[in-house]
Chain A
Amino acid sequence: AQTVTQSQPEMSVQEAETVTLSCTYDTSENNYYLFWYKQPPSRQMILVIRQEAYKQQNATENRFSVNFQKAAKSFSLKISDSQLGDTAMYFCALRGSARQLTFGSGTQLTVLP
């Protein structure tokens, strides 16, 4: 069985600063994908970034980047130059050979003006 753990229920950051959200996971598979989704107050789930486990290079999307440590089964999300619009619930998710995404419990990020 796959599990995804987000140990930080809530975090806050000042506008324009950098914040890192943590995610650890467990899977017995070697090839899988990891995702970060954000859920703003509108509650629509929006894909932020994804990472293939076979790629050593960390994925980057504009101000969002990940620190993927396969051996440690860690997949953290770094948000640079935080903006007020980044305020949202952030979910880490894992997809292996099974069809479903396994989600963590989420981290509520608040960007303070």
Chain B
Amino acid sequence: SQTIHQWPATLVQPVGSPLSLECTVEGTSNPNLYWYRQAAGRGLQLLFYSVGIGQISSEVPQNLSASRPQDRQFILSSKKLLLSDSGFYLCAWSAGWGRSETQYFGPGTRLLVL
């Protein structure tokens, strides 16, 4: 069966520091991968998605970036964090293509920028 991992689970970072969040998927090949952000008490906002190695699409312009160095690895980065980057970051994976594509989520990373 497929599993999705995210780390770290919780992160506290000062403003202006760099960021690297990692997501890995097991048990499937060539998954579609997604990064979402959830602000406190709010719904999810899609940040990036990737359909293959090195292929990244950005949905929301900001100071974050994403990379996919391996088939089942998706990384969310920032060179300098802002206070507004605080939130809950969720990685998701899916297989296939089209409207029936169902996304499955990881356990998330709680980021607090001080």
| Interface residue B52 (Cβ < 8 Å from any Cβ of A) | no
For the complex, give the distance between the alpha carbons of A71 and B4 in Å.
Answer: 37
| Interface residue B44 (Cβ < 8 Å from any Cβ of A) | yes
Q: Which A32-76 residues sit within 8 Å CB-CB of chain B?
A: 32-33, 35, 37, 42-47, 50, 52
The number of residues on chain A lying at the interface, defined by a beta carbon within 8 Å of a beta carbon of chain B, is: 24
Tell me if A's interface is mostly helix, strand, loop or mixed: loop
- Can you list, as one digit per residue, whether each of A79-113 has a CB less than 8 Å from chain B (1) or not (0)? 00000000000010001110111011110000000
Question: Is there an interface contact between B105 and A44, defined as CB atoms closer than 8 Å?
Answer: yes
Question: Is there an interface contact between B107 and A44, defined as CB atoms closer than 8 Å?
Answer: yes
Question: Is there an interface contact between B43 and A105, defined as CB atoms closer than 8 Å?
Answer: yes
Q: Indicate the size class of the contact surface on chain B.
A: 20 to 34
Whether A95 contacts B101 in the complex (CB less than 8 A), given A45-B90, A101-B44, comes out as: yes
For the complex, give the distance between the alpha carbons of A103 and B57 in Å.
Answer: 19
Name the B residues within 8 Å of A91 (CB-CB): 43-44
For the complex, give the distance between the alpha carbons of A33 and B102 in Å.
Answer: 9
Question: Is there an interface contact between B43 and A52, defined as CB atoms closer than 8 Å?
Answer: no
